[in-house]
Amino acid sequence: MTIKQLVIALAGTFVGIAGLVGCSSNQSSKQFSDLPLTEAALLAPEWRSLQRYEARYPIEEASAGNDGCATIEYVITPDYQITDVQTTHATSRYFAQQARHAITRLSFSNAAPGNLTEPVKTRTRFEFCLQNNDDDCSVSVLQQERHCQGTDALFSIGSRVKRL
């Protein structure tokens, strides 16, 4: 076997493996694609003990002095796994990245077993506000849907620090 044939054979194997991996990740999306959206599912009383985290304010956006938002849609399975995490709207990719990361950090360790008997698709809106003299980062202002949608909202308030 020549080196060229070996490279072609290895490339074909890699493409085949990548295709299988792609199919398995797409299978999950197809599995829950028909699941209806349950708005603000995590605001229900049975989820009060849920450990939730605000998203980190992206350094890139804080440096640029930008506010923004991201809405993340995801599925919670009966065994409390988070799957099918998707950004449905974001004012920047940096806000979306931090919001997705916050969703993957949800901790169900305090959740009562049996809260879910079937998967639920829900969404969370993340609002990012940079505290300065011009912006009002009060909760009442941030709760208003400006660019992103979703009743379940978490707020990340940042501030710029100037280096001397």
Q: What is the pLDDT of residues 94-144, one digit of tens each?
A: 999 999 999 999 988 888 788 899 999 999 999 999 887 566 787 777 777
pLDDT tens across 66-82, in order?
A: 999 999 999 999 999 99
Q: In b/e form, how buried is each residue of 89-124, taking b as 16+ CB within 10 angstroms?
A: bbbbebbbbbbbebbeebebeebeeeebeebbbbbb
SS3 state at 41:
helix
Q: 77: which residues sit within 8 A by CB, 6+ positions away?
A: 83, 116, 119
* Mean of pLDDT values over 28-50: 87
* CA pair distance 7, 99, nearest whole angstrom: 40
Q: pLDDT exceeding 90 applies to what percent of the chain?
A: 51
**Nearest 5°: phi and psi at 40?**
60, 40
Beta carbons of 61 and 163 less than 8 angstroms apart:
no
What is the pTM for the complete model shown? 0.76
Q: Tokens representing 100?
A: 């997705």
SS3 state at 73:
strand
SS3 state at 134:
coil
Beta carbons of 103 and 124 less than 8 angstroms apart:
yes
Q: Residue 107 carries which DSSP code?
A: B
Q: Tokens representing 30?
A: 């197809």
Beta bridge partners of 65: none
